[in-house]
Amino acid sequence: MSEKEQEIVVKIKRFSQDKGNYWQEYKVNVDRFTQMTEVLRRIKTEQDPSLSYRASCHMAVCGSCGMKINGEPRLACKTLALDIVKKYNSNVITLEPMDYFQPIKDLVVDLDDFYDRMFKVKPRLYPDKEVLEGKAEQRLKPEDQRELWKFEQCIWCGLCVSGCPSVRNDPEFLGPAAHAKGYRFLADPRDTIYEERLKILIDSSWRCTYCYQCFNVCPRDVEPVTTIKKTRAHTRFLKDRSAVAEIGEKHIEAIEESIKDSGMIKEAEVYLKTYGVIASLTDLIYAFQNGKLKYAFVKEMKVKNMDQIRKIMGD
């Protein structure tokens, strides 16, 4: 082992139909250039050919090597072994399959559910008929490309979905990656199926809980949660809204009105406008039972320099 090399202990959570889950340890010498996919390749070729994992491009483009590294959803190819040693101050690195998806063998998971969600949002451009027939061409303005570019970078790795709490609790939520892909086409001025895309995306967009896990784990900095926020801004253009989208829109309108009116969120007003009198009264009863009712009637302040707020908000 050269001076610049270091031994790491790799603990891998393995799985097979026969044995179920079990942990296995390997020791590997690495240097500062060694990616976790290279660590896995060495284990498989030099120590244990029975180990299964996916990896292809080794350059954060194909998205196949998604897994949990020390508990973090990451691409193994984009993760240097010694960076993890440094971050956690330990030469022991754990590898596990991504959460949420069914493991098939070791670090390989079943991505059928992920692909189903991605295809539900029609992940391709539907151009104008004349363009398809070669009679016209469609150009994208630089400002439109700048809006779309970030959201186009999704490599379908599934890490964001594996970390998303809404997906695992709400089967009607399409998931962050599908929303990133859906918004990328919803906002593309060359696309011709805007109404259809709205119908697919709006209800689901109101099922995101804004936990920012997708933003946190995305290896391509796509910010799926940002696309969900941007999609919600289109709700007003949809005529037949689901109950979830309807109440969500009301809630945001109430928040915006409250800030426009006072520079603050007046909780009581926002509550009433969103949920109506009966639901608000029910919640007041819970607040009373917990001794919190006194705070529901705290006199709300108002920003003194409302002129600044009005100028910012464009009134």
Partner 1 sequence: MKVAYYPGCATHGLSKDVDIATKKVADVLGLELVEVEDWNCCGGGFLDERDEKVHTALNLRNLSNVEKMGLEKMVTPCSVCLQSHRLASTKYKENRDLRKEVDKKLKEANINYSGKATAEHIVWILVRDVGLEKIKSNVKKPLTGLKVGAYYGCQMLRPEQVMGFEPSFHPHSMEDLISVTGATPVSFPMQTACCGFPLMGSNPKIGLKLAYNVMNSAKSKEADIMVHPCSLCHLQLDVTQLKVKAEFNLPWTMPAIYITQLLGLSFGFSAEELGISKIAQQILKEKGVI
Chain residues binding partner 1 by CB under 8 A are: 70-72, 87-88, 143, 146, 165-166, 169-170, 206-207, 209-213, 215-216, 229-230, 232-233, 244-245, 247-248, 251-252, 255-256, 258-259, 263-267, 274, 283, 286-287, 289-292, 295-296, 298, 300-301, 303-305, 307-309, 311-314
Nearer Cβ to partner 1 (128/170) = 170
Instruction: Give the HSE-up count for residue 119: Cα atoms under 13 Å, Cβ half-sphere.
Output: 6
Q: How far is the CB of 223 from partner 1 (least distance, A)?
A: 8
Q: How far is residue 83's CA from residue 31's CA, in Å, rounded to a whole number?
A: 10
Nearer Cβ to partner 1 (132/301) = 301
Alpha carbon dihedral 184, 185, 189, 193, in 10-degree steps, equals -160
Strands (DSSP E) contained in 168-294 are none
Residue 122, phi-psi category: left (phi > 0), alpha (psi -120 to 50), beta (remainder): left
Q: How far is the CB of 305 from partner 1 (least distance, A)?
A: 6
Nearer Cβ to partner 1 (79/274) = 274
Q: How far is the CB of 172 from partner 1 (least distance, A)?
A: 9
Q: How far is the CB of 128 from partner 1 (least distance, A)?
A: 27
Expressed in percent and rounded to 5, the helix, strand and coil fractions of the chain are 50, 15, 40
Placement of tokens 């529901």 in the chain: 296
Nearer Cβ to partner 1 (71/189) = 71
Q: How far is the CB of 129 from partner 1 (least distance, A)?
A: 32
Q: How far is residue 16's CA from residue 93's CA, in Å, rounded to a whole number?
A: 21
Placement of tokens 């259809």 in the chain: 196
Nearer Cβ to partner 1 (59/211) = 211
